[in-house]
Structure formats: structure tokens, C-alpha cells
Amino acid sequence: MGENRQVEYAVVDVETTGLDPTRDRVIDIGILLVDSTGLVQGDWSSLVNPQRPVDATFIHGLTDEDVESAPAFSLLLPRVVELLRGAQSLRTTRHSISGSSTPSLLAHDIP
């Protein structure tokens, strides 16, 4: 992360197990931290074990084998929260095929 630049916003992109954002789970998450000048000050990404079959391989190319050894979303959540905490606003990518990624993030059973 940049030493003296404040993060203006974070961009979050996810890939999911399928096309239903209320049912399907995140299998890949990426975060960019961007300052007020538009420069990326940090980035992070991880595959996620959805603990269910991956149905949308035809869209993103990720398979069950790709994510079987990845951490569960609940284990990644502290890092995600830490990264997003400093951002002034949050922006998610919107994929025309699956709609907003926000419901898929919320669908995970997080203790």
C-alpha cells in the first residue's frame, strides 16, 4: 500500500459457483485499493473453497479441482474486512450474466 496516500475506494470483483446470486457461493475474490488520483495502492486476491460444486465453469474457467484446497470464505473474511476498512467507498463489479456480486457475498454462512 502507498505510504502517504489515503485509499479513496476499493473495487471488489468475485466469481461464483453459478448464476444465482442468492444461492451460489464465491470461488474467487479480488480487491483493488485505489487512491483519489486513480492509482492502485494495493491489491489482493484469493481463490475460495465454496464447499459445494462449481456449476459455472463455462463462464470463468474455474473448476472444483481449482478451489478444493483454497480456504473457505469464512477464513478469508478477516482479511477482506481489514482491506475494506480503510476505503472511503466500495465499488463492486457488475457482470451482465449474473448481476450484482453482493448477494453472493452475503450468501456465505459466516459465524
* Lowest mean per-residue pLDDT among 62-71, 75-84, 92-101: 92-101
User: Would you say residue 97 has pLDDT above 70?
Assistant: no
The CA distance from 58 to 77, in Å, is 27
The pLDDT of 1-6, averaged and rounded, is 57
In order of their start, the domains of the chain are 7-106 (3.30.420.10)
Task: Look at 97 and 76; give whichever has higher pLDDT.
Answer: 76
Q: What is the pLDDT of residue 56?
A: 81
* Lowest mean per-residue pLDDT among 5-9, 34-38, 78-82: 5-9
CB under 8 Å, gap of 24 or more: what pairs does 90-98 form? 90/9, 90/10, 90/12, 91/9, 91/10, 91/11, 91/12, 92/11, 92/12, 92/13, 92/14, 93/11, 93/12, 93/13, 93/14, 97/19, 97/59, 98/16, 98/19, 98/21, 98/56, 98/59
Q: What is the pLDDT of residue 105?
A: 52
Cell of 48: 475460495
pTM: 0.77
